[in-house]
Amino acid sequence: MARRARAPRLTLAASQEFFGTKDDERPAIPVKCNCGLVEFSAEMSSKKKALRTARKPLDKFSGKGRRGRRGAPRAEILGRAEHLRLLLEKCWDQIGDDLLRALNKEDVIQAFERTDEYHRRFFVPHLAPLILKILTEKKFPKTRTARIGFLSDSLGAEGAVSARRSRDICQSVRMP
């Protein structure tokens, strides 16, 4: 059986010219395999090339954020609204009449002074202006349970979005 002549070795310059690589990149190493009668060649990348970092990684964080306002966390708003509903149900008999008569922020704070410290810290002083705004809305309900639900759902976002949007978020999460 006659031996075939080996392919001539490529120099670095010739391989860069053949494979189209730059000087700073490592060229691919051509490998020829002889399996019986069939001869084929494959390019194998060098180990150093495989260890280099990717030019465009998959987990790259884009410097630009998405357009528009950041969304409000819906589940968090609903959870806070449900918690405020439980608190208002416990203390509504003590504060309900005073809240409905409130004309300014100080009246709202004074109404919550009748409750214990645990209930008070969730509502005043940071939510007092928002509570007053919600209480003076035209669509504020007339019954006790509806008032508690309306107020708690409106306060769920704590002013991050409007009171109406907070109620809409609570409704959409409850009824998917």
pLDDT tens track for 54-71: 566 566 666 677 788 777
Q: Which of 151, 153, 147, 148 is nearest to 166 (CA)?
A: 153
Q: Are 46 and 28 contacting, i.e. CB atoms less than 8 angstroms apart? A: yes
- Using 50, 70 and 90 to split pLDDT, how confident is the model at 141? very high
The rounded Cα 40 to chain-centroid distance in angstroms is 51
Q: Residue 72: its pLDDT value, please?
A: 82
Any idea what DSSP says for residue 9?
Answer: P
Residue 71: φ, ψ to 5°: -75, 155
Average pLDDT of the segment spanning 88-97: 95
More confident call, 71 vs 97: 97
Q: Per-residue confidence at 126, pLDDT binned at 50, 70, 90?
A: very high
Judged by average pLDDT, the poorest of 47-56, 110-119, 141-150 is 47-56
User: Residue 143: what pLDDT?
Assistant: 96
pTM for the model stands at: 0.62
Distance, CA of 157 to CA of 166 (rounded, Å): 6
3-class SS of residue 33: strand
For the cut 60, the answer to whether the pLDDT of residue 150 exceeds it is yes
- Helices and strands (H and E) in the chain: how many: 8, 2
Phi-psi region of 52 (alpha: psi -120 to 50; beta: other; left: phi over 0): beta
Mean of the pLDDT values across residues 16-21?
62
Cis check for the bond before 30: say yes or no (omega within 30 of 0).
no
As given in the structure block, the two tokens for residue 56 are: 């465009």
Nearest CA among 38, 53, 22, 39 for reference residue 30: 39
- Tell me how far apart the alpha carbons of residues 131 and 146 are, in angstroms, rounded to a whole number: 15
